[in-house]
């Protein structure tokens, strides 16, 4: 198991922050890693220092214009971490791909051509269950769901997970649910603490032990085009994402053993 999608149809829950820093951490151990930015906002690409004028060729060109995927891969300033950028056209993916036969398999067909070159491939998904998220779920072997501990977010995750299940029933072989990640946790709030208990009681072991606390360093790092490991290696955010990486690798190994 090595292809992981970061998924939540709710916006602003820490998907991109998680995808970027997880990818950076994966790459820190000499592994070759590819991060694919599937969001029209291109936040993951900006977070790794790519300028708005420099997004082409993107995964949009691969999916919509038959650009060979090899040509869309670029290096980042992080050793071992490669990136395929997002771009604005991704916002129209559902319309552009509406009449494409086998449209939910297009990403998988492209990624298969290069997956041997990588130890890990990570997808940063858009905040919707668009055709791009469906493609990510078809291509990935596992997915994680970041969520902020707020009441409506909990309701959102319940809806999301049953929607994903329906999608998966419809298209057959798809990614396994690896777990829920609590992000932007504000430990000073009693209400947050109660909600976390609710989430942990409801989803039990599927919730990662690691919680990502509110961290100004995590919010600042993208502005410098850096991962948390370069921007603030000693920060709590950096420690938390390292703990999360260990938990994720552990779960991927376990799932592999079960299959
Ligand atoms: N642990 C954290 N502490 C403080 N700020 C954070 C944390 N995680 C993420 N942020 C900030 O919160 C905002 C939303 O995070 P992020 O972009 O990762 O979410 P997202 O789910 O990818 O959003 P979208 O759905 O729009 O793609 C960003 O400005 C990010 O820098
Ligand atoms: Mg994002």
Looking at every residue in the chain, the average pLDDT score rounds to 96
Q: Which of 132, 120, 140, 96 is nearest to 9 (CA)?
A: 132
Ligand 1 atom with the smallest distance to the CA of 18 is 18
The CA distances from residue 149 to 141, 158, 216, 240, in Å, are 26, 13, 18, 16
**Under 8 Å between Cβ of 82 and 33:** yes
Per 3-state DSSP, the chain is made up of helix, strand and coil in percentages (nearest 5) of 55, 15, 30
Q: Which of 26, 3, 20 is nearest to 175 (CA)?
A: 3
Question: pTM of the predicted model, to two decimals?
Answer: 0.97
Contacts of 115 (CB under 8 A, 6+ apart): 2, 3, 121
Quote the ligand 2 centre to 92 CA distance (angstroms): 17
Number of H helices, E strands in the chain: 12, 8
pLDDT at residue 174, as a whole number: 83
pLDDT tens profile 128-185: 999 999 999 999 999 999 999 988 888 889 999 999 998 888 888 789 999 999 999 9
CATH number of 3-258: 3.40.50.300
Quote the ligand 2 centre to 13 CA distance (angstroms): 8
Parse the chain into domains and list their residue ranges: 3-258
Ligand 1 atom with the smallest distance to the CA of 183 is 1
For residue 28, count CB atoms less than 10 angstroms from its CB and return exposed for 0-12, middle for 13-18, buried for 19 or more. Answer: middle
Percent of the chain with pLDDT over 90: 90
pLDDT tens profile 183-236: 999 989 899 999 999 999 999 999 999 999 999 999 999 999 999 999 999 999
Nearest CA to ligand 1 atom 16: 14
The greatest distance separating any two alpha carbons of the chain, rounded to the nearest whole angstrom, comes to: 52
Tell me how far apart the alpha carbons of residues 153 and 71 are, in angstroms, rounded to a whole number: 38
Nearest CA to ligand 1 atom 31: 219
**Under 8 Å between Cβ of 33 and 122:** yes
Nearest CA to ligand 1 atom 30: 219
Quote the ligand 2 centre to 16 CA distance (angstroms): 4
């Amino acid at each position: 198991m090595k292809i992981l999608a970061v998924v939540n149809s709710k916006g602003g829950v820490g998907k991109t922050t998680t995808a970027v820093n997880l990818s950076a951490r994966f790459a820190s151990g000499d592994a070759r890693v590819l991060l694919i930015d599937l969001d029209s906002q291109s936040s993951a690409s900006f977070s790794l220092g790519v300028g708005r004028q420099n997004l082409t060729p993107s995964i949009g060109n691969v999916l919509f214009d038959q650009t060979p995927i090899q040509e869309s891969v670029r290096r980042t300033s992080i050793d071992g971490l490669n990136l395929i950028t997002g771009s604005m056209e991704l916002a129209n993916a559902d319309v552009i791909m509406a009449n494409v036969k086998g449209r939910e398999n297009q990403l998988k067909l492209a990624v298969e051509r290069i997956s041997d070159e990588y130890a890990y491939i990570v997808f940063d998904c858009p905040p919707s269950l668009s055709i791009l998220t469906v493609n990510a779920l078809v291509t990935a072997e596992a997915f994680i769901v970041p969520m902020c501990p707020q009441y409506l977010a909990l309701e959102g995750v319940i809806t999301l997970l049953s929607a994903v299940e329906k999608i998966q029933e419809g298209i057959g072989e798809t990614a396994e649910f690896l777990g829920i990640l609590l992000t932007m946790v504000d430990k000073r709030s009693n209400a947050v603490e109660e909600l976390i208990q609710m989430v942990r009681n409801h989803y039990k072991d599927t919730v990662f032990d690691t919680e990502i606390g509110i961290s100004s360093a995590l919010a600042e790092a993208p502005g410098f085009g850096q991962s948390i490991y370069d921007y603030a290696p000693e920060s709590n955010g950096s420690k938390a994402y390292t703990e999360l990486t260990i938990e994720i690798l552990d779960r991927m190994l376990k799932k592999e053993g079960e299959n």
